[in-house]
Structure 1
Amino acid sequence: MEKYVNTLTQKIKTDQGHIFAYREIGNPVGIPLIALTHLSGNLDNWDPTVIDGIAVNHHVILPDYLGVGASLGPAATSIQAMATDMIEFIHQLGYPQIDLFGFSMGGFVAQEIMAQEPGLVHRAILTGTGPRGGKGIENVTRISDVSLLKAIFTFRDVKTYLFFTRTLNGKQESKAFLNRIKSRTHQRDKGISWPAYRKQLTAIHRWASEAPIDFSNATFPVLIANGENDIMVPTKPNSIQLAKSFQHSKLVLYPDAGHAGVFQYAAAFVKEVNQFLLA
């Protein structure tokens, strides 16, 4: 089977004139899994081990947000607008129903897609994320800025500090993860611009101050996963609160893991996802 690091980047122009860059992998039959990435993330920030593992049994589609990477169009200034953009992308591809996989900010966007068009969603996987208005989410800008400065002065990737614990195990897993996402050597995606990055931070900060979404009538199954020590979107109470907001949910927390717990525990997470999507 083709590996994610070798998957070609494609583009599609919507009826509204926006151009979305995306990659797809896996057998293109059945309901596709749309994967929505994190703050500042592009197509090369997905862990190829996780994507390859899910794509063995599923059709996975991974888009760039508008104004990010190779996608052309204005970068959104709200999480709700990002969701509207992604719904536009999904409809242009022609899918009447999809599964969602949102990581971090992608989990925020996924929730807004569920709220805007619940009939579009078959199943959802929310990782490293929390509910709208969740405790501590308003601190993402401060935590990101402090970690970015630290990364600059220590000559390290900022994800070293934001995504993983600073335990010995966390440090080792951080290096392994960073090596995996750097393994693609050709046609890498364009990094996010500073203005688009600040727009995303503004969108997250605004989202953190808004009222929670009422998912009490949502009937689709939801898998929620996180590390036990997420400093960006605090695991407690956010992951627990998010799980309680759905009728049919399962919560998985990984020990000695942070924001990127699902990538730190890649094999276990892939097994969990495949069981969830095939149930």
Structure 2
Amino acid sequence: MLRRNFLAAAGTLIAATAASTANASAATVQGTGTTMTAGLNRLPMTAPTQFVEADGIRFAYRRFGNKNGGVPLVFLMHFLGNMDNWDPAITGGIARDREVIIFDNTGIAGTSGEVPVTIDEMARDATSFITALGLTRVDLLGFSMGGLIAQQIALDHPELVRRLVLAGTGPRSGEGMTTQTPESRAVFGKKYAHPDDLWLGVFFTPSEASQKAGQAFLKRMEARQKNRDVEVDEKKVAPAQLAAIATWGASKPDPYAYLKQIKQPVLVVNGDNDIIILTINSFILKKNLPNAELIIYPDANHGSLFQYSDSFVKSVLSFLKDRDA
């Protein structure tokens, strides 16, 4: 009820955002994100997996794109994801203008070590990875759980972070973040003929248009044919990551006060019907961050950035472009 009432009150903002993105994303709305594999930047499909050691952890990563486009943009991954779970329409689109760095955090896929059980530890390890590359200034793009990590890095090391993009994520003690939402439990608990079909329910709404965009997204996920990342060991990774998310989401007094300490410009992005990290949490971020912009995409779930990949890339590049500090 709280979510429905909040989104109803915010209907004007959603409508305005939808109108502002409709023209830029006409192909996405009408053709449901027809970006498949034709015309994609090939760099995400061909960039070699490299390794760097930091604090006893051997991190797997890929680095590609325009090195003259400003500070690198480091991507922070979602629950149970590895490097191949990044949409090449997004990483490749951004790489035309910016240098992109994707990686597996500690204990995930090709990276060694034990999976941390707190967001604080994940942020610590991600920071160690970034500094091991010799970087002193970066932009961060965090999706879902990655957005929690991005916030913590910005808090712990404000000198390292220039700008943040937070997609499908939420604040500490956010609405519905202590445990999985009922909708999330239903999606993750369902049996699927094809395992990847799980992501159609996690990232996309049931509408025909959104599901068609989801099918295009799944095809893009198969674009990298050679030297793919190591599969995520779900039995090992899921309990640790769920514990970390639960700790982040646990109820605390004055939970959003910490957001005032994040002074960097932030772009917050979500769909209007996120069932994984409820959409209300994006409004909470916008309200409490000192310098935030908000985009809400219509008829979109947790993976709004994948459904509206063209528009999302344009918005991110605009947000980052020519604003080096």
Cα deviation for residue 115 of structure 1 reads 1.4
Whole-angstrom CA distance in 1 between matches of 2:52 and 2:181 = 32
- 1:110 maps to what in 2? 150
* Equivalent residue in structure 2 for 1:122, among 127, 137, 162: 162
1:208 aligns with 2:258: no
- 1:21 maps to what in 2? 60
Distance 1:133 1:45, change over 3 A: same
SS at match of 1:202: helix
**Given that residues 170 and 257 in structure 1 are in contact (C-alpha distance below 8 angstroms), is that contact kept between their aligned partners in structure 2?**
yes
Whole-angstrom CA distance in 1 between matches of 2:125 and 2:214 = 31
- 1:262 maps to what in 2? 305
User: RMSD of the alignment, in Å?
Assistant: 1.7
SS at match of 2:192: helix
Cα deviation for residue 148 of structure 1 reads 2.8
Distance 1:273 1:85, change over 3 A: same
Whole-angstrom CA distance in 2 between matches of 1:2 and 1:264 = 20
- 1:52 maps to what in 2? 92
Indicate the structure whose relative CO is greater, using CA pairs within 8 Å and at least 6 residues apart: 2
TM-score (ref. length: structure 2): 0.81
Cα deviation for residue 216 of structure 1 reads 1.6
SS at match of 2:312: helix
Whole-angstrom CA distance in 2 between matches of 1:159 and 1:143 = 13
* Equivalent residue in structure 2 for 1:159, among 199, 202, 206: 199
Whole-angstrom CA distance in 1 between matches of 2:262 and 2:115 = 29
**Structure 2: which amino acid aligns with 1:201?**
L
Q: What is the count of residue pairs matched by the alignment?
A: 277
Structure 1 gaps of 5+ residues are none
Whole-angstrom CA distance in 2 between matches of 1:141 and 1:229 = 13
User: Residue by residue, what CA displacement relative to the aligned partner does 1:126-159 show, whole Å, maximum 9, x if unpaired?
Assistant: 0010111100112327655432331436765211
Find the structure with the greater CA-based Rg. 2
**Given that residues 53 and 270 in structure 1 are in contact (C-alpha distance below 8 angstroms), is that contact kept between their aligned partners in structure 2?**
yes
User: Residue by residue, what CA displacement relative to the aligned partner does 1:165-197 show, whole Å, maximum 9, x if unpaired?
Assistant: 011111111111111112211111112111112
Q: Which moved more, 1:257-266 or 1:215-224?
A: 215-224
Distance 1:160 1:63, change over 3 A: same
1:197 aligns with 2:238: yes
User: Residue by residue, what CA displacement relative to the aligned partner does 1:216-243 show, whole Å, maximum 9, x if unpaired?
Assistant: 243311000011100000102x001101
TM-score (ref. length: structure 1): 0.94
The 5 A counterparts of 1:241-260 are 241-260=284-303
- 1:224 maps to what in 2? 268
Whole-angstrom CA distance in 2 between matches of 1:8 and 1:155 = 26
Whole-angstrom CA distance in 2 between matches of 1:106 and 1:180 = 21
Distance 1:2 1:166, change over 3 A: closer
1:171 aligns with 2:211: yes
Whole-angstrom CA distance in 1 between matches of 2:181 and 2:299 = 24
The 5 A counterparts of 1:72-111 are 72-111=112-151
